[in-house]
């Protein structure tokens, strides 16, 4: 990576935050800023879903509304995430031990079966083939408590990596890949913006608001504005908010495109498209 390149980092946001990210990406394309033009895309949890859909050329407009589920999902146990965040705030524990304990919570919780999680992510991503551009998807090894990063060279099907990255404790069971179980990549380090270190320009999009620990500040950080936050609501597992959140992201994209285009390297295809409009 060089100072003339740029990275797009997409952070966690739950199912409804995923919709907002997809709508934002669709709106950026309409505004003349192509998110797939980024030299590096880093996706975590909701951001992994959106990053995969963006870089593989998924028809984002087709995801504004979702088909009815084949069966109602089990209710999400939000108390598991509360306990996970409490563990994350315990500074007396080493990071890997924190993640191992959260992993045990994830394994014990009643949640969406991993087969259903993989099928749902397969629908949203639309393919198991990695894109030609550089996409990184983050996760956490439940037993070891160690962060992992998958890419095209990992040999892991794209939809499986995305399913693991978005398997939030209490919402979806950890996903099995190569005989090991993996959970939500947010526990590896928030939005994992550190993976974009060395890229000249970094655009960070975070549905939950700022949550990237350490590291340098991005050149642009985009979070839901007041109207988007209202559309997303307090329960990011409330799928009735999917379409309103998507539309809110799409609406917010015009302002986001202006901010992104202002910092992109000269000669970027995205800048050219934006300025030609």
Active site residues: 45, 184
**Residue 103: partners with Cβ closer than 8 Å, 6 or more residues away:** 140, 141, 142, 143, 145, 169, 174, 181, 183
What secondary structure letter does DSSP report for 112? Answer: B
CB 76 within 8 A of CB 111: yes
CB 44 within 8 A of CB 138: yes
Please give the backbone phi and psi of residue 72, each rounded to the nearest 5 degrees, phi first.
Answer: -65, 135
Angle at 137 between CA 238 and CA 163, to 5 degrees: 45
CA distance 196 to 190: 13
Token digits of residue 51: 């990053």
Strands 180-184 and 134-141: antiparallel
DSSP labels for 72-101?
PPPPP-HHHHHHHHHHHT-TTS-HHHHHHH
176: β partners: 181
Of 43, 199, 225, 67, which Cα lies nearest the Cα of 135?
A: 43
CA distance 129 to 127: 5
């Amino acid at each position: 990576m060089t100072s003339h390149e740029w990275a797009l980092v997409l952070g966690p946001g739950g199912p409804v935050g995923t919709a907002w990210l997809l709508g934002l990406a669709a709106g950026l394309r309409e505004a003349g800023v192509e998110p797939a033009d980024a030299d590096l895309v880093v996706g975590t949890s909701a951001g992994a879903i959106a990053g995969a859909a963006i870089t593989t050329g998924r028809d984002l407009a087709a995801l504004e509304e979702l088909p009815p589920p084949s069966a109602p999902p089990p209710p999400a146990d939000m108390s598991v995430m509360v306990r996970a965040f409490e563990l994350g705030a315990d500074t007396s524990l080493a990071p890997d031990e924190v993640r191992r304990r959260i992993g045990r919570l994830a394994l014990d919780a009643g949640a969406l079966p991993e087969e259903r999680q993989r099928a749902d992510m397969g629908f949203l991503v639309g393919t198991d083939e990695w894109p030609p551009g550089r996409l990184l998807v983050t996760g956490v090894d439940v037993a070891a408590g160690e962060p992992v990063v998958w890419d095209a060279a990992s040999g892991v099907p794209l939809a499986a990596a995305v399913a693991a990255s978005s398997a939030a404790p209490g919402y979806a069971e950890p996903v099995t890949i190569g005989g090991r179980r993996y959970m939500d990549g947010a526990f590896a380090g928030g939005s994992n913006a550190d993976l974009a270190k060395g890229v000249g320009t970094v655009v960070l999009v975070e549905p939950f608001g700022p949550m990237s620990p350490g590291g340098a500040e991005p050149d642009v950080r985009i979070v839901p504005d007041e109207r988007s936050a209202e559309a997303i609501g307090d329960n990011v597992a409330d799928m009735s908010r999917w379409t309103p959140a998507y539309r809110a992201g799409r609406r917010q994209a015009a302002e986001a495109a202006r901010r992104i285009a202002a910092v992109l390297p000269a000669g970027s295809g995205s800048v050219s498209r934006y300025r030609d409009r």
